[in-house]
Amino acid sequence: MSDQIDQVLSSVDSERLMQTTAAIAQWERLSGSDGERKAFDLIQSELESLGYACQRHNPVCLVSIPRSATLHIAGEDEPIRCITHSFSPSTPDAGIELELIDGGNGSTPEYSSRSVRGKAVLLEGLATPNTVAPAESFGAAAVIHNSGPQIHEMTISPVWGNPTPNTMHMLPKIPHISVDRHGAERLRAAMKSGPCRVRITAEVDTGWKPLPVLIADTPGMDAYTMHVLLSGHVDSWYHGAMDNGSANASMLETARILATYREQLRHGLRIAFWSGHSHARYATSAWYADEFWSFTHHYCLAHVNIDSPGGIGASDLSSASTMAESYPIARDLFQRVAGASLQYDRIGRLGDQSFWGTGVPSFYCSISQQPPEDTPTGIGALLGRGGGLGWWWHTADDTIDKLDPVNLERDASILLATVYRLCTQRQLQYDQTGAAREIRETLEKLQSVAGEDLDLTGSIELAGNLESAANELQSLQLDSGASEDEVALYNGCITGVSRILIPVNYTVSGEYEQDPAVPGEPLPGLQPARQLPDRRNMPDAYYPWLTKLRRERNRLDQALIEATSLISQTLAVYQMSDEW
C-alpha cells in the first residue's frame, strides 16, 4: 500500500461525518418519496462542489410500500400491534379471518407435521424471502412472524430487482405481518386455550414507479476507464440515520478526501447511490447491472458496498463480508486501520450485490456489527452469525443517537482505505488461489455426499490444477521497473480469472440474470447434489435433477479450464520475456 495512506486517513473528520449524516437523516426516505429526492439533491450538490461529474437516472421499478396492518384474536377487543411488509399482498378492506396454528421455525418437518392449508401460521423469526415459498407450497393463507423484542420492517420478495416473465410467479401471494414477542405470547396463549381464530388486515402499495439513481465520476472518466465502483443506498425505513445515512456520509467523506488526491489515482472512481434497496428489493442496482453490464464487466475492478456503519456498540469487526479473492486485501486493511482481525466470511446474497454476473470482485456490506449474541435482528440473524446491526435496525428508532462518532470515523476510514488502495494500486492484489481453493474444497464436500450419483473427481482435479496455477501467478510480484504492458498483462489475467470464476461460484442463472434474494453456498448450481431424490422411489424427480447437475458440472469444468488456461498463457509470456 502507498506510504501516504496514513496521511490520507488523517483527513477523515468525525464531526463532518456526523453533520452529514444528520443532514441526510432529517428526512424520511421511502423509495420514490419527496424526502428521498431531497436527500439525493443534497448528495448530488455536495459531489458536484467537489468536482465530480454527476448524472441522474430514473429507471421504472416495482416498488412496494407497506401502509398499515391490524391483527385481532377473535373474541378479544384489544388488537395486537403488528406491521405488514414490502411485497406482501394486501387483504380485502374488511380483512381475512383464519384459524391460527403454530408453525415453529417454518421448516419442512414443521409444516409436514400439521395441516396448514387455508390457515394462518405463526412463525419464529424475521420475515424473510426464505419463508415465502414454503408457506405457499403447503397452502397457508397468511403468515404471522414473531420478530422478537422489536418489530422490524422487512422486504419479503425473493425476486432480486424487477421481476421478469420468468420470476413474476415468485412474488408473494399471501399476506405476511409481523408481531413482537409480547404479541406472539398472546397468540400462543390463545392457541393453548383451544382453536384460535384471528382477523388480519394488510394494506401495501405496490406498483411501478421511477426511482432515482445518482452516479458520480472522477473527472476524465469515459466509456473505457478502468474504475472502482463504490455504492450504497439512500432510501431508508423512517429516518434511517445508521441505515443508511451514515453510509451515505461515509461515501461523501471518501469522495471529498480522494478529490484532494486525484493525481495519485491510477484508476477512476464511480460512486453510485441507489434507491429501491429496501422497498424494491435492490431494483436500481440490478437495473444498473443490466444497463451498464458491458462497462462493468470490462472496466470495473471492484465493487465496494457500504451499509449501516458506525453504530453505537458496533465493536465486532471480525466478519465483514468479502469474496475469497478480495479477502486478503480487506484483511490487511482492517488490521492496519483498526487493528482488527478480519475472518473470511463469504459475501452473501444481500446488500445490493447485483454484480456477480459481471464477474467483478466485491467487498463488504456492513463493516461493523454488534458483538455476537442471541439476537433475532440484523445481518447477523440473516446470515446466522454475529450480533446484527442493533435493536433499532429497520425501526423508527434508527435515529442519530444510535451512532458513535468514534465508530463512524473508524468504519469510514476502513472504507476510504479500501477505495484508496484499489484506485491507486499498480499491480492488482486479488488472490485467485483463495478462490480456486474454495471451489476445490466445496467440490470435495459435495462429492462426499453425492457419492456414486454424481462423479465430481474430474472437476476436483481441474480445480486443483487451477489452484496450482493461481499459486504460481500469486508469487509473481512485479517490481517498480516493470513496464506498463507487463502490469497490464498481469492485471488483465487477474481480472479475467474473476470474470470466469465468479459467475459459476456465485450464481445459478449465470451472467445476465439475477438469482433470488436467498442465502446460498459456493457453487450454488451444484448444491442440489446434497439432497438428490431417492433414485428407486422417486425416479421422476431423481433423473431430471441428475441431468441438471451434469450440465452444471460442465459449466464449472469449462470455467476451470478457461481460468487455468488464461493463467498459463500469461505466465508463459512472462517466461519468454527477456526483461523478465
pLDDT tens string 414-455: 999 999 999 999 999 999 999 999 999 999 999 999 999 999
Please tell me the distance from the alpha carbon of residue 83 to that of residue 200, in angstroms, as a whole number: 11
Cross-strand partners of 393 = none
Instruction: Give the dihedral sign, CA 74/77/81/83.
Output: positive
**With 0-12 CB in 10 A as exposed, 13-18 as middle and 19+ as buried, what is 442?**
buried
pLDDT tens readout for residues 101-147: 999 999 888 898 889 999 999 999 999 999 999 999 999 999 999 99
Question: What's the pLDDT band for 381 if we cut at 50, 70, 90?
Answer: low
Q: Are 359 and 289 in contact (CB under 8 A)?
A: no
Q: What is the pLDDT of residue 383?
A: 47
Q: Report the CATH architecture of 63-207.
A: 3-Layer(bba) Sandwich (3.50)
Supply 532's cell numbers.
Answer: 438428490
Please tell me the distance from the alpha carbon of residue 571 to that of residue 568, in angstroms, as a whole number: 5
Please, what is the angle between helix 539-576 and helix 432-450, to 10°? 150
Tell me the whole-structure pTM to 2 decimals.
0.95
Q: Does the pLDDT value for residue 34 go beyond 90?
A: yes
CB neighbour list of residue 369: distance below 8 Å, 6 or more residues apart: 311, 314, 316, 319, 378, 379, 380, 386, 387, 388, 389
- What angle is formed at CA 176 by the lines to CA 171 and CA 181, rounded to 5 degrees? 145
Domain ranges of the chain: 5-59+211-314+324-332+346-367+397-424, 63-207, 432-576
Please tell me the distance from the alpha carbon of residue 426 to that of residue 267, in angstroms, as a whole number: 9
Helices (H), 234-377: 247-259, 283-291, 293-299, 327-338
Q: Does the pLDDT value for residue 578 go beyond 60?
A: no
- One-letter amino acid identity for 379? I
Q: Which residues of 447-486 are buried (b: 16+ CB within 10 A; e: fewer)?
A: beebeeebebeebbebbbbbbebbeebbeeebeeebeeeb
Taking phi first (over 0 means left), then psi (-120 to 50 degrees means alpha), and beta for anything else, what does residue 478 get?
Answer: beta
Question: What are residue 101's phi and psi, to 5 degrees?
Answer: -130, 160
Q: Does the pLDDT value for residue 76 go beyond 60?
A: yes
Whether residue 244 is preceded by a cis peptide bond, meaning omega within 30 degrees of 0, is yes
The mean pLDDT value for 188-193 works out to 95
Question: What's the pLDDT band for 384 if we cut at 50, 70, 90?
Answer: low
Please tell me the distance from the alpha carbon of residue 146 to that of residue 36, in angstroms, as a whole number: 30
Q: Does the pLDDT value for residue 580 go beyond 50?
A: no
Supply 490's cell numbers.
Answer: 498481469
Please tell me the distance from the alpha carbon of residue 422 to that of residue 425, in angstroms, as a whole number: 6
Lowest mean pLDDT among 212-221, 371-380, 521-530, 570-579: 371-380
Q: Which residues of 84-99 are buried (b: 16+ CB within 10 A; e: fewer)?
A: bbbbbbbbeeebbebb
- Please report the DSSP string for 176-218 in residue order: EEEE-HHHHHHHHHHHHTS-EEEEEEEEEEEEEEE--EEEEE-
Q: Does the pLDDT value for residue 382 go beyond 60?
A: no
Q: Does the pLDDT value for residue 63 go beyond 90?
A: yes
pLDDT tens readout for residues 197-236: 999 999 999 999 999 999 999 999 999 999 999 999 999 9
The mean pLDDT value for 31-52 works out to 98
What percent of the chain is predicted at pLDDT more than 90? 91
What percent of the chain is predicted at pLDDT more than 70? 96
Please tell me the distance from the alpha carbon of residue 573 to that of residue 488, in angstroms, as a whole number: 12
Q: What is the mean pLDDT of the chain?
A: 95
Supply 274's cell numbers.
Answer: 441507489
Q: Does the pLDDT value for residue 23 go beyond 60?
A: yes
Intrachain domains 5-59+211-314+324-332+346-367+397-424 and 63-207 with the same fold:
no
CB neighbour list of residue 379: distance below 8 Å, 6 or more residues apart: 350, 365, 366, 369, 386, 388, 389
Please tell me the distance from the alpha carbon of residue 509 to that of residue 518, in angstroms, as a whole number: 14
Q: Does the pLDDT value for residue 385 go beyond 80?
A: no
User: Is 5-59+211-314+324-332+346-367+397-424 a domain of CATH 3.40.630.10?
Assistant: yes
Q: What is the pLDDT of residue 329?
A: 97
